[in-house]
Amino acid sequence: MPMSDPLTLLAMAGATTVVSAMATSAWEVARDRTVALFRRRGEDMTEGEDGSVRAELEASAARVRDAAEVEAARNRQVQRWQENLEDLLRRAPELSGEVTALIDEVGALLPTAQNVWQQSVHATGGGSAYGALGPGSSVHVHHRASPHPPPPAGSAGAGEDTP
């Protein structure tokens, strides 16, 4: 399905939220809400399958927790759970509101991202240095007169040997 399809987008948001909750204090709520969501599907969901969904979620959480490359593991699990949620929503589109509620509830429990950015930029010898860091960065350039004016054209500059 194309990414502009509303059910695909909702499934992606739901999967991202559930996987983001793995290894956080929001995990139990995310897991339990996801299991309940699959249980509400009704017609062919048995208690055994409920246990299977829980087991799959726990296995996904373990893969993320134990991965050497956490971001790659998260991406794989988001893809997996997006497919699961999208399949569920295609069979039971009336559950869209519950997926939205899961996103809202679990999203509110997730730790806020705290990005700490630090950068040091130094220029010496009359050089210029510019730096930008993080989303929405701006670069402001301020020129000051050098304490040592540049050598006249054609003469040896600083650090150069004269013959």
CA–CA separation, 123 vs 136, rounded Å? Answer: 24
What is the pTM (predicted TM-score) of this model? 0.64
Question: What are the pLDDT tens digits along the chain (163 aa)?
Answer: 455 689 999 999 999 999 999 989 999 999 999 999 998 876 334 455 556 899 999 999 999 999 999 999 999 999 999 999 999 999 999 999 999 999 999 999 988 764 445 556 666 777 666 555 544 555 555 556 666 666 777 766 555 555 5
CA–CA separation, 13 vs 78, rounded Å? Answer: 9
Q: What is the DSSP string of the chain?
A: --TTSHHHHHHHHHHHHHHHHTTSTTHHHHHHHHHHHHHHT-TT--HHHHHHHHHHHHHHHHHHHH-SSHHHHHHHHHHHHHHHHHHHHHH-GGGHHHHHHHHHHHHHHSPPP-----------TT-------STT----------SSPPPPTTS--TTPPP-
Task: Return the pLDDT at 161.
Answer: 54
Task: Return the pLDDT at 116.
Answer: 46
